Amino acid sequence: MIELDLHHEFADFRIDIGFVAQSRCVALFGDSGAGKSTVLDAIAGLLKPHGGRITLDGQVLFDRARGIDVAPARREIGYVFQDGRLFPHLSVRANLLYGARARRRPASELDRIVALLDLGNLLGRKVHNLSGGERQRVAIGRALVAQPRILLLDEPMTGLHREARQQVLEHLRRLKRELRVATLLVSHLADEVAALADEVILLQGGSVTAQLASAEFAARVGHAPDAPG
């Protein structure tokens, strides 16, 4: 469960976002500039908000008033960036194992994640040889092999062509069914959100405008929601 109360001021933009999200897959939906990625950065610890409080499953990650700010490396979060950010000097396999090694955890999940994301034939390759869809699947795998408490997905399908998007979406649905990892998805694409999310938080201009169950969201935007995972 994420409890978030976030206040932050950029040069020309102010964010005041608060929500409590309990579902396994929660989506933050809104146009560009709504503050979606800022929320993910704040949860991951990459942005230090000017005010507010963030808790994950009861653990305080950030509390401005109490001076609590857990270092990003210790938050145990899996962050899949929009641009992948794979390590170019490492093989796919080494990328996948990076987080498990950094957290000194056994790579027991590697085989399962590789199978779920169909990465078996990519393991020995360097990342610059991968297509956009393959890169994003590796980025998702890298975050999951480290066994995060929550998976943050920042527009994971933006920039991919139609076929690659469909593939990544299918893999995300499969992960949702099989792994049951808490996920916070950021997207401006309604079909993506409708296909994955159990709960949708609508953001506009730096604040929450509504919090909807997936069926309500689907009805509002005209997409069939995913079957319960």
Partner 1 sequence: MMALSPEEWQALALSLRVGLLSVVVSLPFALGLAWVLSRKRFPGRLLVEALMFLPLTLPPVVTGYALLVVFARHGWFGEWLAEFGIVFAFRWSGAVLAAAVMGFPLLVLSIRVAFDHVDQRLERAAETLGAGPWRRFMTIVVPLSTRGIVAGCVLAFARAFGEFGATITFVSSIPGETRTLPIAIYELMSMPGGDSGVQRLTVVALAVAFAATVVAAFLGGSLWGRRRHD
List of residues contacting partner 1 (CB under 8 A) = 44-46, 72-79, 81, 83, 85, 87-89, 98-99, 102-103, 128, 142-143, 146
Select 113 or 218, whichever has its Cβ closest to partner 1: 113
Select 50 or 89, whichever has its Cβ closest to partner 1: 89
Residue 139 CB, nearest approach to partner 1 (Å): 9
CA neighbor of 25 nearest in space, from 210, 192, 189: 192
> CB within 8 A of 153, min separation 6: which ones?
80, 140, 172, 183, 184, 185, 186, 187
Select 24 or 103, whichever has its Cβ closest to partner 1: 103
Select 64 or 103, whichever has its Cβ closest to partner 1: 103
Helix or strand holding residue 156 (H, E): none
Select 108 or 166, whichever has its Cβ closest to partner 1: 108
Residue 104 CB, nearest approach to partner 1 (Å): 8
Strand partners, 5: 18, 53
Rounded alpha-carbon distances, angstroms, from residue 64 to 8, 50, 69, 70, 208: 11, 7, 8, 11, 21
Residue 46 CB, nearest approach to partner 1 (Å): 6
Cα(55)–Cα(153) distance, integer angstroms: 18
CA neighbor of 150 nearest in space, from 42, 41, 2, 3: 2
